[in-house]
Structure 1
Amino acid sequence: MVAPALATADVVVVGAGSAGCVAADRLSRDRSRTVLLLDAGPGTRPEDSQTSLARLPIEPGAPRVRRYPESRGRDVVRGAGLGGSSVVNGGYFLRGHRDDYATWPWPIDRIEAEFASLEQVMSVSAFADDELGTVATAFEAYWGRAAVTGRSPRAEDSAWPTVGLNRVRSNRRDGRRVTAADAFLTEAFLTETFLAADPAAPRPGLRVVGDCPVDELLVAGGRVTGVHTALGRVDAPAVVLAAGALGSAALLLPFLGPDLPVHEHAERLVRFAARRPVEAPALLQTVLHTADALEIRCYGDDFAAFINGVPASGIAVGVADMGAGTRGSITSAGVDLGVPDAESLRRIDGGVDLVREMLHAPELADLVVSGSVRVDENVGMSSHAWGTVPLGLGRDIDGLHVLDGAALPGPLRSGPHASVMAMAGLIAAEIS
């Protein structure tokens, strides 16, 4: 005898992070549709102390973080609970370059409209000149010289990044991150059980349940029938995967395995000691994009200033290859993010040389302690896992939709957070 389901819904959304919040909002606009949003993390809204731009709450034991062990010893940190990584990341919200979206199955004007709507709801704006921290101001003074970059200084009013200096656009209000939960779940019914929402609620069909890990997709006859959770079975004719590039891939492995690809943006850090204390209102306020698809990242201070319990290691400038992702894999045994190939390392090390020149330039002479510049031997990653099930893959399972970083079809020359949320909105709009 089959046990009865704990709950039923027209759509189950797995993951209440950035993409899942967008999807739940879009799907529940139809008041006749019942939407159940599930997350393994806390089902409560984050506290103000967790959303300050001056802090990254990702230290060991942080309540809104999930760590995926990685085969090369690099734990992969992801947000958990309502808002997901939008609660714990640096608040960086740049679009990719316009031509990064050539492989997306929507016209650029529709993609642009989705970004514009998203940025309004997420309270996105570029950091103003008088908001820049100490290191960011010196960074822009150096790279803003046409003699250095070979181009005019940045265009301050452009929502689209280009080659050259790009002032970071950030989802923020009053010095705090505006999370996806803030933006899209204000009318949701938050519950610790599977109780039905109040029919008089603004979104009577939308329920959100936290502390409810999903461990299995239920499929019969080539069609999804629901999910199995730590609390029991939930039946639904449609399931939306928004558990992140790693979480969604893990649920799909039994159907698409034995392994799935995963890509990352490799990054090498150049560190230095500062002659004086620096002001850093946010982790990342300005970046340089190069013609060979590097992103040179001006971090505002030592990571120890943002993350509790991290030992001081010097202020960092990051050089990331955004043009080609590493080639890793996800299997039932775990995650391997891969390593950059020889060509990628060549580009990164070329960027490192540019950063060395900058740190010895007059614009930074009163900031950088002489002889303190050093380069990390090991190449790290950008926390940008993507492309485990690119758009179109896995569509042979009827009723199943993937709309998080797993679905990104190719590399972006900016961090993927804004693009993932835009893609989630575009896909959710097409779910009937």
Structure 2
Amino acid sequence: MNHNNDASEFDYVIVGAGSAGCVLANRLSAGGKHSVLLLEAGPKDSHIWIHIPLGYGKLFKEKSVNWMYQTEPEPGLHGRQVFQPRGKVLGGSSSINGLLYVRGQHEDYDRWRQRGNAGWGYEDVLPYFKKAESQQRGADQYHGADGPLPVSDWRHHDPLSEAFVKASVEAGLPFNPDFNGATQEGAGFFQTTTRRGRRASSAFSYLRPAKNRANLRIETDALAQRILFDGRRAKSVEYRQRGQLRRATARREILVSSGAYNSPQLLQLSGVGPADLLKSHGIEVILDSPGVGNDLQDHMQVRIVTKCSQNITLNDIVASPIRSALAGVQWAALRKGPLTIAAGTSGAFFKTNPRLASPDIQIHFIPFSTDKMGEKLHPFSGFSASVCQLRPESRGTLRIKSADPSQPPEIRINYLATETDRRAFIDGLKILRNILAQPALKPYCVEEVYPGAKVVSDEDLLEFSRKTGSTVYHPTSTCRMGSDPLAVVDQRLKVRGIDGLRVVDASVMPDLMSGNTNAPTIMIAEKASDMILEDAR
């Protein structure tokens, strides 16, 4: 391999062009004052299915834009490995995700603040959610309409999704027109990060408007190998691009935005992490930081599949060449129809126990069914609703397996490790079944396919969860923010014990928030951009 020594210098070097990295690249280059290099291991976001909302199903196992990670065998899931798709493309996971715009609960952020992270309470972060947002419904107390990120209502009439909301209300949940407003609890329709029926990834929303700025350089197919230090100051990033080893020096700061798996991996490869782990791979220890890769959290889901009495599901459309062609024409001409379906059309948030302060379960309802996401839809008419526990107690780890940056890390999430987590799924499945049995859904239901009528007892429901449970693709907290000994970054996202280095992405979340993680990750990067620019004055 050639080593290219034409060292290039920038004020900021950003590693990872995902949900957070694209925001940083836009905001830090906006004034024209600072030079910015954005490094992305994957390609440009030119794959056709990136831009079609339903395309997330096609990209699920598309190696060209996806890291295609797997967990280690999970003890709580009978030793099954759980597939972990992560974006490897401009836009990162926001280019291949399920598109739902969910911020979480006000209480999530207040809990972050109460854990010693000043400036991260709900009232502190709300302005950054609003700053990012271009809300189709217009601006109000909770929403912004002038930001880069389009947030839109769904553009496809689906009687099943509407019936689910009605059934939830019949089961006693309030109707909630806005999961991101005053309160999260209730049933309603999800909004999505789309504009006029097209995906609005962070690359589309933040990078495209900025890409021609003279002070911003974007390098794709550039895999970061390690960060190089001068003592305890981060100085440069070594990256491999098309067979050449290159180096980029940061005059001010290196910003690691590689996600909950790749950010701790890069820190460990660079000598910042648990000393024993680094030494075992022959890596020089720059800083013994035992928290790097700790506290890995993820949302798990368990799905109920129901056979539908009418040929109105996506299963039926996909099975018919004529209806499939019509759906394609409808999207191409009008940007409407079945191809605009996100990874949840309607849904609900509820408490499994009235003593809880806020909902601990999220339901994603979708008008199609499959054995595994990303695989063929069922040959029968079917729809799905999944139970997702919002605040798992289970904690896992991320560890490098090798000093080779191209080798995937060891991912252990430890699903269903605590009684609270196990109980949440048992009770959540019972409540979801009650919703599915309400009058509004009766005309559409033939039978429950999975788990099926024979699965009734708590033991059987837990066993079903262990056999079929999977991820909702929300890993966080592996470079956690805080002031305790295992916290990796401080409240300004600076790596503790190191100068000139921050982590800005979902890995800094003090704990997993109650909902989908893309919107909060974009918020974190908006807030980080302000802090970085403040510190540059």
TM-score computed with the length of structure 1 as normaliser = 0.89
Pick aligned residue for 1:185 from 194, 207, 213: 207
The alignment partner of 1:78 has SS state of coil
Q: 1:370 to 1:427 in 2, by over 3 A?
A: same
Amino acid across the alignment from 2:508: A
Deviation, structure 1 residue 372: 2.8
Assess, with a 3 A threshold, how the Cα gap between structure 1 residues 112 and 371 changes in structure 2: closer, same or farther. Answer: closer
Q: Is the partner of 2:192 in helix, strand or coil?
A: strand
Q: Which residue of 1 aligns with 2:392?
A: 324
SS in 1 for 2:90: coil
Q: Distance in 2 between matches of 1:210 and 1:370?
A: 49
Match of 2:480 among 380, 390, 396: 390
Report matched runs for 1:230-249 at 5 Å. 230=240, 231-237=245-251, 238-249=253-264
What secondary structure is seen at the aligned counterpart in 2 of 1:330?
A: strand
Aligned to 1:198: none
| Residues 166-175 or 341-350, more deviating | 166-175
Paired position in structure 2 for 1:296: 363
Deviation at 1:210, TM superposition (A): 0.2
Q: Which residue of 2 aligns with 1:137?
A: 162
Secondary structure of the residue that 1:66 maps to in structure 2?
coil
* Counterpart secondary structure, 1:247: helix
Aligned-partner Cα distance in 2 for 1:306–1:161: 30
Cα displacement (A) at 1:290: 1.2
Change (3 A) 1:24 1:49: same
Name the amino acid aligned to 2:411.
V
**Aligned 8 A contact 2:238 2:246 in 1:** yes
| CA offset digits 1:25-44 (Å, max 9, x no partner) | 111123121100000000x2
Structure 1 segments unaligned to the other structure (5+ residues): 190-200
Q: Secondary structure at the match of 2:348?
A: strand
- 4+ runs of 1 displaced by more than 6 Å? none
Measure the CA separation in 1 of the matches of 2:505 and 2:470: 23
Alignment of 1:379-418 (within 5 A): 379-392=469-482, 393=488, 394-418=495-519
> Of 390, 411, 416, which aligns to 1:335?
411
Shift of 1:325: 4.7
CA, structure 1 residues 59+265, in 2 after alignment: closer, same or farther (shift >3 Å)? closer
1:19/1:305 CA distance change after superposition, 3 Å: same
CA spacing shift, 1:303–1:20, aligned 2, 3 Å: farther
Structure 1 range deviating more: 365-374 or 297-306: 297-306
Amino acid at match of 1:235: T
> The residue matched to 1:298 in structure 2 has which SS?
strand
Worse-superposed segment, 71-80 or 389-398: 389-398
CA distance in 2, matches of 1:223, 1:317: 49
- Alignment partner of 1:372: what SS? strand
**Residues 1:126 and 2:172 aligned together:** no
* Deviation at residue 249 of structure 1 after TM alignment: 0.8
3-state SS, counterpart of residue 308 of structure 2: coil
Match of 1:364 among 436, 441, 447: 441
Residue 83 of structure 2 corresponds to 75
Matched-pair contact (CA < 8 Å) for 1:95–1:159: no
Q: TM-score, normalised by structure 2?
A: 0.72
SS at match of 1:284: coil
| Stretch of structure 1 that moved more, 346-355 or 229-238 | 229-238
Contact 1:266–1:326 (CA<8 Å) still a contact in 2? no
* 1:194 equivalent in structure 2: none
**Judging changes above 3 Å, is the alpha-carbon distance between structure 1 residues 19 and 401 closer, same or farther for their aligned structure 2 residues?**
same
Match runs of 1:97-108 below 5 Å: 97-102=105-110, 103-104=112-113, 105-106=118-119, 107-108=121-122
Counterpart of 1:260 in structure 2 is 293
**Aligned partners of 2:179 and 2:185 also within 8 Å:** no
Change (3 A) 1:310 1:325: farther
Number of equivalenced pairs: 412
Equivalent position SS for 1:182: helix
In the TM superposition, residue 331 of structure 1 has moved relative to its aligned partner by 1.1
2:55 aligned counterpart, secondary structure: coil
* Farther-moved stretch of structure 1 (225-234 vs 58-67): 58-67
1:160-179 equivalence runs, <5 A: 160-179=182-201
Residue 424 of structure 1 corresponds to: 525
Matched, 1:222 2:237: no
d(CA) in 2 for partners of 1:422 and 1:97?
Answer: 14
Indicate how the Cα distance of structure 1 residues 305 and 48 shifts in structure 2: closer, same or farther if over 3 A, else same. Answer: farther
8 Å Cα contact 2:153/2:192 also seen in 1: yes
C-alpha distance in 1, partners of 2:500/2:54?
A: 41
> Structure 1 residues 25, 371: closer, same or farther in 2, change over 3 A?
closer
Across the aligned residues of Structure 1 and Structure 2, the Cα RMSD in angstroms comes to 2.4
In the TM superposition, residue 367 of structure 1 has moved relative to its aligned partner by: 1.6
Closer, same or farther in 2 for the Cα pair 1:116/1:410, shift >3 Å? same
Q: Which runs of 5+ in 2 are unaligned?
A: 74-80, 135-147, 278-291, 315-337, 352-358, 402-409, 452-463, 483-487, 489-494
Among 378, 387, 404, the alignment partner of 1:312 is: 378
CA–CA distance in structure 1, aligned partners of residues 49 and 206 of structure 2:
20
1:219 and 1:351 map into 2 onto residues whose CA distance is 49
Letter in 1 for 2:413: L
Distance 1:51 1:422 in 2: 22
- Separation in 1, partners of 2:166, 2:85: 33
Percent identity of equivalent pairs: 23
The residue identity in structure 1 corresponding to 2:426 is D
